[in-house]
Structure 1
Amino acid sequence: MSEFEEQYRQRADASGAGEIAERYRRRADAFGAKVAAVRDDQWANRSPCEKWTARDVVQHIVDMHGVMLTPLGRGLSAAPGVAEDPVAAFRAARADVEAVLADPALAGQECDTPSGRLTALQHIDQVVSQDLPLHGWDLAKATGQDDTIDPADVEGALAGMAAIPEETMRMLRTPGAFGPGVEVFGPEVKVDPGAPAQDRLLASIGRDPRWRP
């Protein structure tokens, strides 16, 4: 187990299942509110992710919920697709993940991930839960909503980024390193060292905090 994997395990263990589940719920509430606020004529808007529209951002989040379920032998429940009803699609995917978080046997089941062997609880916390605030920013920027990320999420993400070894970070920035078409982080964007914490976080994952439609 790498030092990064061990540090993550320690943070997850310290947080506890209840805190991880609550963190996911808070982030899902915020993302879901942004999805619900998108007007019908905004779904084709470009997002800060060069290849994605606003609808594509939601599709990615729904897909990643499915990825969290796959190691458990589960899949997303039957529901309208993002192309038909983004709000319903996200709500259904969220319910599927929350069912795992609410079941100690499922949440504690271990699975192999790019970050090592984690429980489903830890995997959800490390991946899709952390995706929600960042892609919430993408969706907000694409559709003219408030793009403020919860300061607690910014602080936690910056600390997590700082703990990632340089070699692992290079892989995270390499398109296809974790599978065909998978790009975790883009090249780091340069910002002033004294820039707000949210701007520094966005720049570190390859987003330009000054991006405008």
Structure 2
Amino acid sequence: MSEIADRYRTRADIFAAKIAAVAPGQWSNPSPCAEWTSRDVVGHIVDMHAAMLSPLGRSLSPAPPVEEDPAAAFASARADVESLLTDPAAAAREIDTPGGRMSVERHIDQVVSADMVLHGWDLARATGQDDTIDPAELEEMWPAVQRIPEEMRIPGAFGPGIVVFGPEVAVPGDAPLQHRVLGLLGRDPHWSA
């Protein structure tokens, strides 16, 4: 198993645990993502898994929809992406992405794998769970989030309805690293429903 596959699996385990901890009445809770509920956060992650399959001409396997069973929808999407990561030929295949030409596994690592960290915070915050992001993840994210291009903050720059990152939220320079990372990713670290 590659380092990228291991990292994906760890992040997916954490995201799945957050899904499992959502109480039935919390799926309609607002999230830190404007206009999204807790269910919408999971729906986005499932959709992003589908986007990882698309360049290979594949789609998600049949599964219950997020509206009916968020945990089952995520588990199925996760299995589809893990099958790519555990297939050396598929993982190494070069594809064209909005971020340029790269291997399937690198695309997964940069997009959906990293997305689960941020949206795991969103889901935890929306449902009253522990929203602490692993300090090692924060250290790894910090250099990249300081270099987010402004065009990635423009709604629709990558297609209709697509918002990659919201406007930067100002936080003090001496704030905890998690708050600084979240602020650069367009999140208010003190958000509450």
Does 2:119 align with 1:139? no
Does 2:163 align with 1:183? yes
The AA in structure 1 aligned to 2:118 is L
| Equivalent residues in 2 for 1:103-122, closer than 5 Å | 103-122=87-106
Q: Aligned partners of 1:158, 1:122: CA distance in 2, in Å?
A: 18
Q: Which has the higher helix share?
A: 1
1:6 aligns with none
Q: Aligned partners of 2:105, 2:34: CA distance in 1, in Å?
A: 31
2:75 aligns with 91
1:157 aligns with 141
3-state SS of paired residue (2:161): coil
1:162 positional shift: 3.0
The AA in structure 1 aligned to 2:11 is R
- Indicate which of 21, 24, 30 corresponds to 2:14: 30
- Indicate which of 124, 136, 144 corresponds to 2:108: 124
How many residues were matched structurally?
193
**Unmatched segments (≥5 aa) in structure 2:** none
3-state SS of paired residue (1:187): coil
Q: Aligned partners of 1:188, 1:147: CA distance in 2, in Å?
A: 20
- Indicate which of 158, 164, 183 corresponds to 1:203: 183
1:172 aligns with 152
Q: Aligned partners of 1:85, 1:196: CA distance in 2, in Å?
A: 35
The AA in structure 1 aligned to 2:24 is D
1:10 aligns with none
TM-align CA RMSD: 0.9
Q: Aligned partners of 2:81, 2:75: CA distance in 1, in Å?
A: 10
3-state SS of paired residue (2:146): helix
1:163 positional shift: 4.4
2:54 aligns with 70
3-state SS of paired residue (1:127): helix
Q: Aligned partners of 1:118, 1:49: CA distance in 2, in Å?
A: 28
TM (normalized to structure 1)?
0.89
TM (normalized to structure 2)?
0.98
Q: Aligned partners of 1:86, 1:33: CA distance in 2, in Å?
A: 12
3-state SS of paired residue (1:118): strand
The AA in structure 2 aligned to 1:21 is A
1:12 aligns with none
Q: Aligned partners of 2:116, 2:156: CA distance in 1, in Å?
A: 22
1:155 positional shift: 1.1
**Unmatched segments (≥5 aa) in structure 1:** 1-16
Deviating beyond 4 angstroms after TM superposition, the runs of 4 or more aligned structure 1 residues are none
Q: Does the 8 A contact of 2:146 with 2:184 survive in 1?
A: no
The AA in structure 1 aligned to 2:156 is G
Does 2:61 align with 1:81? no
